[in-house]
Amino acid sequence: MNWDDTGTDTGERFDDRLVDAGADGEDTAVEAALRPKDLDEFVGQEKVREQLDLVLKAARARGATADHVLLSGAPGLGKTTLSMIIAAEMNAPIRITSGPAIQHAGDLAAILSSLQEGEVLFLDEIHRMSRPAEEMLYMAMEDFRVDVIVGKGPGATAIPLELPPFTLVGATTRAGLLPPPLRDRFGFTGHMEFYAPAELERVIHRSARLLDVELDAEGGAEIAGRSRGTPRIANRLLRRVRDYAQVKADGRIDREIAAAALGVYEVDARGLDRLDRAVLGALLKLFGGGPVGLSTLAVAVGEERETVEEVAEPFLVREGLLARTPRGRVATPAAWAHLGLVPPQQGGKGQQGLFGA
Ligand SMILES: Nc1ncnc2c1ncn2[C@@H]1O[C@H](COP(=O)(O)OP(=O)(O)OP(=O)(O)O)[C@@H](O)[C@H]1O
C-alpha cells in the first residue's frame, strides 16, 4: 500500500527515485563526462579542497607519494571525483574498487601486489570490507608490505611481500563505523558536506555548458533548490529537465520550464519526492504530527521500516521537517507548512487537515 499527497493508496512502489543520491547505470556513464578534472574545477568543499591542495603540493614538492586520504560524506557528494582528482594532481594512475568487492584477504593481496609505484587505490565503501582484508590493509598502509598466507592449518606459512609506495583513498558514508586502527592510518581525513544552493547552481551551470544546454540563472536556481545539497542529484535533475525542455519547448531552460519538468517528476520545490511526502503526509494526517513509532509509520505508508528510516527520514530530518524523539517520530511546524496543512492545536481547520482530504 502506498499513499500519494492526499493520503490515498496509490498501490505503487517508491523505487527508481530521481532524488536518490546513489549512482545508477545512467549516472555512471554521464558522470564520467561531467566529472571535474582538477581541484580548480571542483566546486565547493572549500576546506577539504584547501587542505588537500596543501597535502598534494607538499608531496609533489618532496617527490613523494601522497599520504593516505580518507573521505567521508553522504553518497553523491564527490568522493569518487575527488579521488580521481588526487590521482590526476599526482600524475598517477588510479585503481578503483570497493569494500564489498574485497571479501577475502587474497582479493586485496592481488590488487595491492599489482599496484605501480605512486598509484592511487580508491577503495569505496571501505567500512564494508571483510575483517581479514582490513587487517591486511593495516600493514599495507603502514609498512607497504603484506603477509601472504600460503597453505592451510598448521602447515600455513606467511610469505612477506614488499609493495611499492601507493596512496590509499578510502571513501565512507560513515566514518564513525571505521575501526580506530584503520582510521588512524590515514594521514588526512576530509569530511564532505552537503552543498549550499549557490554551489549547486555552479555545478548545474557547469554541467549545462558541458551538455550544451541553454540554461538561465533562474532555471539553474530552480533545479539547485530541489537537488538536496547533492551534485549527483543536481546533474540528474538537470538531465530530466533537459528532456522536458526538448520535448515540450525549444530546449531552453528557464525557471518555468524547470519547475514544470520537476513537477512532472514529482520532485517538489524543496526536493521532496513522493516517498518523502507520503511519510510526512501520513505523519501529519493520520497521526496528528506524532509522536508515532517508526514501525507504525512504515505500515501506514506500506513500506519497510528500513526504507522509511534510511531512505526518507535522513533528508526530512536534515530539512527540519521531522524529528526523531525517544517517544517516536514528530513533525515540525515547517512540515505542516510545507504540506499546506494546519496543526490541530491551532483550531478546527487542523482537524480537517488531520482527517479530511
Ligand atoms: N564538487 C563538485 N563539483 C562539480 N561536480 C561534482 C562535484 N562533486 C560531485 N560532482 C558530480 O556529481 C556526480 C557524483 O559524484 P561522485 O561519483 O564523485 O560522488 P561520490 O561521493 O563518489 O558518490 P558515491 O559515494 O555514491 O560513489 C559526478 O557526476 C560529479 O561530476
Which phi and psi (to 5°) does residue 186 adopt? Answer: -90, 130
For domain 197-264, say whether CATH 1.10.8.60 is its number.
Answer: yes
3 state DSSP class of 89: helix
Has 349 been annotated as catalytic?
no
- pLDDT value at position 7? 44
The residue length of the chain stands at 357
Domain at 45-191, CATH from 3.40.50.10580, 3.40.50.9100, 3.40.50.300, 3.90.1010.10: 3.40.50.300
- pLDDT value at position 351? 39
Tell the residue nearest (CA) to atom 25 of ligand 1: 75
Pairwise CA distance, residues 64 & 2, whole Å: 56
Tell me how many degrees the CA angle 234-237-239 measures, rounded to the nearest 5.
110
Q: Which atom of ligand 1 is nearest to the CA of 83?
A: 18
pTM over 0.90: no
CATH code at 3-17+273-339: 1.10.10.10
Long-range contacts of 200-204, Cβ-Cβ distance < 8 Å, separation of 24 or more: 200/224, 200/227, 200/229, 200/231, 200/234, 202/43, 202/44, 203/43, 203/44, 203/231, 203/234, 203/235, 204/234, 204/235, 204/238
Has 327 been annotated as catalytic?
no
Low-confidence ranges of the chain (pLDDT < 70): 1-16, 25-27, 345-357
CB 49 within 8 A of CB 80: no
Pairwise CA distance, residues 150 & 96, whole Å: 26
**221 in ligand 1 pocket by Cβ < 6 Å?**
no
Please report, for the chain, the start and end positions of each structural domain, with discontinuous segments joined by +.
Answer: 3-17+273-339, 45-191, 197-264
- pLDDT value at position 22? 75
Which residues fall in the annotated binding site? 34-35, 76, 79-81, 142-144, 185, 195, 232, 305, 324, 329
- pLDDT value at position 174? 82
Same fold: 3-17+273-339 with 45-191: no
- pLDDT value at position 27? 64
Which phi and psi (to 5°) does residue 350 adopt? Answer: -60, -40
Pairwise CA distance, residues 145 & 100, whole Å: 22
- pLDDT value at position 345? 66
Task: Record the cell numbers describing residue 11, joined without a space.
Answer: 498501490
- Pocket test residue of 20, 77, 195 for ligand 1, highest count of atoms within 8 A of CB: 77
- pLDDT value at position 310? 87
